[in-house]
């Protein structure tokens, strides 16, 4: 049992997974009706949806409850479909992100583009296996994006026009923002880096907010409030809670990408270093490092041939310079800001307490 399941008295995780299972069964039959070779697509969607933390649906549901949404109501059940839509949207983002980052693993398994390329090679098909794999992963992202919209639209049918319209506005903004954030991330990887660490860090935080923080925490919390009929002031307050918490969530991911246990994270230690991710952690290290360490960072970040020993050298620099401690302090400050705002909101129980517990779980995790 995960920490999220332990803190889920109203069965949000199980409810969302039931919605996703029904969706997958329906889609598997639909895909097969188009052609016999489509089965692996459904398998890949099922694979990426497995073992998710269901954090976004939990934030959405408990915000709905905290803003007056009733347990067991038609609308509460519909919020589970919104949660499934958020999970499907995340799946779409992951399929595409793994291609753009050339990632090899996701949650302990080969990424979709690697798995489909391997199948191409094993079958001896014609053409470029890597191109085939990337094409399949892009299409999987498109399929899950379409599925996300379908689940969301289905959910909105259970709500009155005003909350439905407010939620639609949030959902549409989220999808646009993440897509632009992905581009900003790609751009950041291409721009000169290391000459102005302060500017590098500012750019990294801009990417975090657009690509991850808002869709991971802020938008789900605001969606739940909107679906409960919260007014403009309450929605603005939830944005001020969700953004710093979402940023802290991503900063924790950045630390885990270097220092996390691969058996828990599902990714090899140091993958973020090999990919050369322009993180706040890396920017802080560049600002704090001496000339020799800075040169090692500049040479090593983005080198996909780094050995485990090389990764350990870079990770040691991130610790020795104090960069890792700085990021931990930033996480703590962001979380405290979010919790102070949450406490001041005077939200209804048990939703308010669950949001607070989810906030701690989101940044205290090991995967």
pLDDT digits (tens, 9 = 90+) for 115-135: 999 999 999 999 999 999 999
Token representation of residue 273? 């270093």
**What is the mean predicted confidence (pLDDT) over 262-277?**
84
Rounded to whole angstroms, the Cα distance separating 328 from 334 reads 10
Q: How many CB atoms lie within 10 A of CB 163?
A: 20
pLDDT digits (tens, 9 = 90+) for 151-170: 999 999 999 999 999 999 99
- Of the candidates 203, 204, 207, 200, the one whose C-alpha atom is nearest the C-alpha of residue 289 is 200
Domains in the chain: ranges and CATH: 3-363 (1.10.600.10)
Kindly state the DSSP code that residue 70 receives in the 8-state scheme.
P
SS3 content of the chain, % helix, strand, coil (to 5): 80, 0, 20
pLDDT at 147: 97
Rounded to whole angstroms, the Cα distance separating 366 from 176 reads 29
pLDDT digits (tens, 9 = 90+) for 2-50: 444 456 889 999 999 999 999 999 999 999 999 989 999 999 999 999 9
pLDDT at 278: 92
Average pLDDT, the chain: 94
Phi, psi at 159, each rounded to 5°: -115, 155
pLDDT at 23: 95
User: What is the DSSP code string of 244-265?
Assistant: HHHHHHHHHHHHHHHHS-HHHH
Rounded to whole angstroms, the Cα distance separating 92 from 146 reads 9
pLDDT at 309: 94
Kindly state the DSSP code that residue 366 receives in the 8-state scheme.
-
CA atoms 126, 128, 129, 131: torsion sign: negative
pLDDT at 6: 56
Rounded to whole angstroms, the Cα distance separating 132 from 116 reads 7
**What is the mean predicted confidence (pLDDT) over 88-93?**
97
Residue 1: pLDDT band by 50, 70, 90 thresholds? Answer: very low
Return the residue matching tokens 């490092």: 289
């Amino acid at each position: 049992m995960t920490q999220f399941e332990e803190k889920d008295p109203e069965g949000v995780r199980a409810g969302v997974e039931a919605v996703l299972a029904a969706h997958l069964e329906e889609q598997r039959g639909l895909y097969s009706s188009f052609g016999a070779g489509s089965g692996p697509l459904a398998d890949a969607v099922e694979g990426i949806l497995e073992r998710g933390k269901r954090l976004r649906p939990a934030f959405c549901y408990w915000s709905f409850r905290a803003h007056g949404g009733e347990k067991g109501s038609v609308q509460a059940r519909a919020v589970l479909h919104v949660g499934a839509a958020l999970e499907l949207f995340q799946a779409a983002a992951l399929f595409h992100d793994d291609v753009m980052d050339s990632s090899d693993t996701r949650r302990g398994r080969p990424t979709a583009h690697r798995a489909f390329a391997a199948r191409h090679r094993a079958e001896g098909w014609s053409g470029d296996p890597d191109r085939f794999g990337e094409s399949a992963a892009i299409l999987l992202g498109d399929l899950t994006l379409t599925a996300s919209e379908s689940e969301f639209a289905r959910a909105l049918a259970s709500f009155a026009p005003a909350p439905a319209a407010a939620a639609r506005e949030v959902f549409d903004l989220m999808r646009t923002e993440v897509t632009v954030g992905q581009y900003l991330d790609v751009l950041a990887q291409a721009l000169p880096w290391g000459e102005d660490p302060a500017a590098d860090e500012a750019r990294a935080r801009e990417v975090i907010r657009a690509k991850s923080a808002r869709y991971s925490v802020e938008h789900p919390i605001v969606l739940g409030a909107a679906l409960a009929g919260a007014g403009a002031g309450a929605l603005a307050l939830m944005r001020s809670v969700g953004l710093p918490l979402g940023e802290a969530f991503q900063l924790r991911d950045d630390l885990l990408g270097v220092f996390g246990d691969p058996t828990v994270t599902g990714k090899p230690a140091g993958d973020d270093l090999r990919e050369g991710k322009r993180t706040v952690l890396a920017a802080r290290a560049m600002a704090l490092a001496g000339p020799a360490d800075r040169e090692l960072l500049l040479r090593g970040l983005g080198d996909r041939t780094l050995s485990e020993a090389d990764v350990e050298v870079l990770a040691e620099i991130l610790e020795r310079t104090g960069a890792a401690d700085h990021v931990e302090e930033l996480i703590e400050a962001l979380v405290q800001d979010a919790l102070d705002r949450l406490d001041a909101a005077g939200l209804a129980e048990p939703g308010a307490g669950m949001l607070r517990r989810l906030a701690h779980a989101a940044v205290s995790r090991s995967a």
